[in-house]
Structure formats: structure tokens, C-alpha cells
Amino acid sequence: MATKIYNSKQIELLNGDSIELIPIKIKFLRELMTQFEDIKNVKNDQDAIEVLVKCAGIAMKQYYPKAKTIHDVEDIVDLHMVYDILDYGANIKIKVKDDENVKEKSLDGEKGSGWNDLDLAKLEAEVFLLGIWKDYQELELSLSMPELMATLSSSRELDYQEKRFLAAIQGVDLDKNNKQNEWENLKARVFSKGKTNDGNDVLALQGANAKKVGFGIGMGLDYEDLTK
């Protein structure tokens, strides 16, 4: 079965028209996530729902441009559709039962998006070097987050394969070296008791491990643990 970059869902609006829910482009996602921040300051469920509808309205700029205003959006979607729009469009997963608090469930749903922990500028800068887009605005209008990540992953893989080929010409096996590095890093975690993942870190050179590389007379380097 062919793999998919993202999931989609077809829904029928209250006016009878159908739209396909897919991840929204980054330009709209930025606007939506900024709007979603207002959920933290609402006082009751009604206010929370108003924020969610506004967020859905931003996504509808892509899904259904005919809806020009928030009132247009309110006329063609119900609350369950709003939840689906935020789920498929922005990875904000909100499923609220009748006896649950909309604000709390909305804040829980935000955790699934990973937006606040994302260094988007760095990712876009790397993809922009492909030279396909004339500026960052065009890039953000062209790609959703799953599309950006898939493009970045493919670009990195092609870059690695090129380096792998050039290294092979010189008699170097990059795959073997990578496996060796992974093994050294794993040992580093063990010897440092989880304080480092880097086999070259001095914290990894303790005890018998230090003796093997010529440090100390048996117990390796003494050091002050500054992590405490």
C-alpha cells in the first residue's frame, strides 16, 4: 500500500457543499495558531467556542474561500465540524463530551500540534535553499507542515546519498561509520549514566572506559559534576 504524507477527510457542510480537510498551508497555520493563543485567556466555554470558530474560519480561507466572514463560517459548520477542521488542518485534536470543559480540552489538544517547540524559521531556511520559491511567503503558501517535513527529509536523504557516493570513491563507508558512531554514543550514555549522548564527551570517559583510552590509572578522569 502506498504511503501518505498526511491524512485527509471529506466532510459535507451545512449548506450541502463538500470540502476536503487536509493540513493547511503554513501561512494560514501561522495565523490560526496565533488566534488559538486566545484560548488561554477565555473565561467560559462559550468564549472558548468562539475562539475555536475563529480558528476554523482561518482554515476555511483555504478550504472554502466562498466563506468571506466569520458569520459565513458559522452558517455552514457545526461544532463537530470545527473540531475536525482543527484536527486535520492544524493537528489540534479536540474531542469534547457534553460534561467536559471546552477550554481545558482545547488546551490539551494544542499539545498535539508541537507548534510552540518548532524552530520553523530554521526548517524553512533549509528547504528554501532548494531554490524552488522566490520568497518565503510563496513557500508558506505552497507547503503545509507535513509537506515541508517530507520535502526536508527527502532533501537530506539525497544530500546524504551524494556524500555517501563521494565517500565510497575515496574508500570510506559512511554507513559503517554512522553505525559505529551510534554504538559509541550508546556506550557514552551508559558510562556517563545518562549525562551525555556524545561518545566524544569527557563525561563518557570514566572508570574502565577511561582506562582504555589512556586516562588515569584505572578510574579515569576526576571531574566536577556541574549538572547538579
Nearest residue to 23 (alpha-carbon basis) of 87, 114, 93: 87
| pLDDT greater at residue 110 or residue 156 | 156
Q: Provide the residue type at 24 as one letter.
A: I
Alpha-carbon distance of 89 to 56, in angstroms, equals 9
Which cell numbers in the block locate residue 120?
Answer: 520553523
**Which of the listed ranges 103-107, 164-168, 196-200 does the model predict with the highest average pLDDT?**
164-168
- pLDDT (0 to 100) of residue 220: 40
Q: Are strands 9-12 and 18-21 parallel, antiparallel or unpaired?
A: antiparallel
pLDDT tens sequence across 86-100: 999 999 988 776 555
192 Cβ contact partners less than 8 Å away, ≥ 6 residues apart: 201, 203, 204, 206
Position 170 scores a pLDDT of: 78
Q: Are 106 and 94 in contact (CB under 8 A)?
A: yes
pTM greater than the 0.85 cutoff: no
- Residue closest to 38 by CA, chosen among 110, 125, 88, 97: 110
Closest CA to 61 of 31, 94, 92: 31
Confidence band of 172 (pLDDT split at 50, 70, 90): confident
* Greater pLDDT, 41 or 174: 41
Element containing residue 46 per DSSP (H, E): helix 45-63
Asked whether residue 198 carries a pLDDT value surpassing 60, the answer given is: no
What digits encode the pLDDT tens for the residues 17-47? 999 999 999 999 999 999 999 998 998 888 9
Contact between 20 and 86 (Cβ < 8 Å): no
